[in-house]
Structures are given as structure tokens and as C-alpha cells.
Amino acid sequence: LYENWILLLGYGCILFGMTLVLTSYWALGFYGTFLGDYFGILMDRRVTEFPFNIFNDPMYVGSAFSFLGTSLMPFTAYIYTQKNKKT
């Protein structure tokens, strides 16, 4: 496990992605995350704290990294399944 860099990269992507998603949720709160401008519930000012000071849309970026990490993990399992079939 510790020598498999693809699997570790997958875990790292998930960790990074979930950090972005959870800190975005923390910064926006429930109403800012789920209701937002759809129902006219806007915050007093634009959120500029982490992670919004790095990305304009950290929830989307975080979700993409989480999906990427998840796809890397089954890919790693598939590689080793194929390797074991050959031996």
C-alpha cells in the first residue's frame, strides 16, 4: 500500500477535495450552500475567506478532486487484479 503511488495519489485527491468542500460549507453555512440565491437568501457580503480566496468555486473543484481520487482507487484495484490473473 505504501509503495503504490497511484493509490496514495487517489487518497490525496480525496483528502484535498473534501477539505475544499467542507471548508466551503463551513464558510457559507447551510443557507448559503443549499439555498443561496435561488430563494433570494444572500449573505451580507461576498465570502472571501479560505477556500474562496484560492478558488472562485471551491465546492466544484473539491468535488472534482474527490471524484478523481475515487476513480484512481478502483483503477489501482483493477491493475492488481489483472496482474494477479497473469501470474
Q: Tens digits of per-residue pLDDT, 50-85?
A: 999 999 999 999 999 999 999 888 877 777 777 777
H or E, element range at 48: none
User: Domain of 63?
Assistant: 1-85
DSSP letters along 8-43, please? Answer: HHHHHHHHHHHHHHHHHHHHHHHIIIIIGGGGT---
Q: Which three cell numbers stand for residue 46?
A: 461576498
Cell 448559503 belongs to 32
- Predicted TM-score (pTM) of this structure: 0.79
What is the number of structural domains in the chain? Answer: 1
Q: Tens digits of per-residue pLDDT, 3-20?
A: 688 888 999 999 999 999
